[in-house]
Structure 1
Amino acid sequence: MAHAWKCSGLRWAADGPELAWEGGRRSALTWGKRVAFGVADGGVRTCVGARGHACPVRSAVSGRSTGARCEECARLDRAHSVAADTIADDPRPYHVYLAWFGPGMTKVGITAEERGSARLLEQGAVCFTWLGVGPLMAARRTEELLRAALRVPDRIPYADKRAVRSGLPGTEAERAAEIRELHARAVGLGGWPESLRAEPCQPVDHVRVFGLADLPAPAGVVAELVAGGAVGGRLVAAAGPDLHLETGGGVVVLDTRLMTGWGLIPVDTEELSVPVREFRRATGVQDGLF
């Protein structure tokens, strides 16, 4: 039997997306590359642990979970995250940003300045701009100010992001229009913390980085992996944690977070033998003339 690998998820490097594996190995992903793997027959998906520590009881987790963590490890992981608002003494400077994922889908967020644009790539932001930089608590207060004053959310569901990727506006100017308008409104607001330095609107576009130009509409989305199942296809695009794979039945989206916790083995296939659900556009996106 082939040696089983444990995937740590999709990472975004300077040269593009990579699949990370336990032990430090990385597999670079390029457009047109065949992506194929099987799930060890009889295997069970186990909790990936929290904050770099293994799950003490190696709990079994659902195949549909994108977090691949048991309840206790999920609690520990969230308790030590910046997003949980439980860390107040982080001395690092933080960026406040506006990220755009499609028409009517812009969010505000914060990320450590030292991470650069990695967080935006991980979220699948089609384009973004910085708003300001400063201490963590000042960045948090600014994020809250913009959410309340501009009614901009801090989260957008992944399903909604996927739903519009194959029908984005064709030019960078069109894609940047919403964040330019919101940036102008944001800098005009009163109440910004004095310790946060505002930054000019300089949109960064990721369509080429993600391979989204002329992206075919997906036929389906992998719902979960199962023991003995397999996934295979040619990579046509990648955004956030998602791989868009061209298969014999059309383009199918694979959320690589579903790969974690399983023992995966190499296979030679360009077909899928795992549950796939029908691809649906986000609410409010017109599906056709009628």
Structure 2
Amino acid sequence: MAQAWKCSGLRWSADGPVLVWDGGRRSALTWGKRVTFGVSGGGARICVGARGHACPVGAAVPGRSTGARCEECARLDRAHSVAADTIADDPRPYHVYLAWFGPGMVKVGITAEERGSARLLEQGAVCFSWLGVGPLMAARRTEELLRAALRVPDRIPYAEKRAVRAALPETAADRAREVAELYERAVALPAWPESLVREPLRVVDHVGVFGLADVPVAIGGVSELVAGGAVGGELVAAAGPDLHLATGGGVVVLDTRLMTGWALVPATGDELTVPVRQFKEAAGVQDGLF
């Protein structure tokens, strides 16, 4: 009987994307790598728990859920979350940043300085620039100031990011233009908290890191995994939690957050026997599962 694996999600390292498995094993992902797995037909998708603890009731969760948590575990997971605005006394310094995902799609956000650019890679930011660094509450006030004054959001759905990924400008200079323009408007605003140190404009481009240059346009995305289904393809690009896989029918995007909570088993070939949503025209003991 094939050994089953449980995925903890996609992480971004200095060398690129890595799939992490329960127990700490990691699978480095490189362009051209075959990504193939089956979904165990012997069970349901189970809640992944919260903050390192298993779900106390082993609740089943829907296949389309990207969080893979039941309602109670989702509440517990966000109870001590900077993103959910429930922490005010974190002593670490925080960066304020502008992130660009495609034409007309820019957001403002904050991330702990010690995390470097990891948060931007996790979000699938095509390019970004720091704006400033300082205490958490100063960073939060600056984020709110910029959100209101520049009329940019602090959250953008992943579906919208995927939609513009196929229409990116060809040059880094063109991709950086909107970030540079908003940066100039941002630093000209009054009422910045005194404790927030401004950062110089330096736009970091992730197109090369993500492998998005000259990548074929994706025809659709996996909408959910199902028991007994299979995913197979060649990795041609990755951005945020998304893997762009070349299959027999074209490039399909797999949001790796859909993998969590399932028991996954080895498979072969480039078959895709899980539901796929078509995109609109537009824009022994194994060392690892693969």
Provide the residue aligned with 1:280 in structure 2: 280
Asked whether the 8 Å contact 1:166–1:214 carries over to 2, the reply is no
Q: How many residues align?
A: 283
Corresponding position of 1:5: 5
Residues 98 and 128 of structure 1 are in contact (CA less than 8 Å); yes or no, is this contact kept in structure 2?
yes
Identity level (%): 81
Opposite residue 99 of structure 2, the aligned amino acid is A
Q: Deviations over 1:210-245 (max 9, x none)?
A: 000012111111010010100000000000000000
The residue that corresponds to 2:23 in the other structure is 23
Aligned to 1:197: 197
C-alpha contact (below 8 Å) 1:212/1:237 kept by paired residues: yes
Partner SS, residue 166 of structure 2: helix
Quote the residue 2:114 is aligned against: 114
* Partner amino acid, structure 1, of 2:72: E
Q: Matched residues in 2 for 1:220 and 1:140: separation?
A: 36
Q: Contact between 1:165 and 1:215, CA under 8 Å: does it hold in 2?
A: no
Instruction: Give me the whole-angstrom Cα distance separating, in 2, the residues matched to 1:271 and 1:280.
Output: 22
Cα distance in 2 for partners of 1:211, 1:187 equals: 32
Where do residues 13-162 of structure 1 align in structure 2 (5 Å cutoff)?
A: 13-162=13-162
User: Aligned with 1:50: secondary structure?
Assistant: coil
Distance 1:198 1:221 in 2: 39
Which amino acid is the alignment partner of residue 75 of structure 1? R
Query: What does the per-residue CA deviation read over 1:128-170, in whole Å, with 9 as the maximum and x for residues that have no partner?
Result: 0000000000000000000011101001111111112122101
Query: Deviation digits for residues 50-85 of structure 1, max 9, x if unmatched?
Result: 111111111000000000000000011112110111
Residue type at the aligned position of 1:168 = L
Amino acid at match of 2:196: L
Instruction: Tell me the TM-score normalised to structure 1 length.
Output: 0.96
Q: Secondary structure at the match of 1:217?
A: coil
SS at match of 2:83: helix
Counterpart contact for 1:94–1:136, Cα < 8 Å: yes
Aligned equivalents of 1:83, 1:242: Cα separation in 2: 21
Amino acid at match of 1:117: S
Question: Which shifted more, 102-111 or 163-172?
Answer: 163-172
CA distance in 2, matches of 1:148, 1:41: 49
Deviation at 1:38, TM superposition (A): 0.3
- SS of match in other structure, 2:54: coil
Deviations 1:178-203 (A, max 9, x none): 01000000000000000000001100
Superposed displacement of residue 280, structure 1: 2.6
Structure 1: which 5+ runs fail to align?
Answer: none
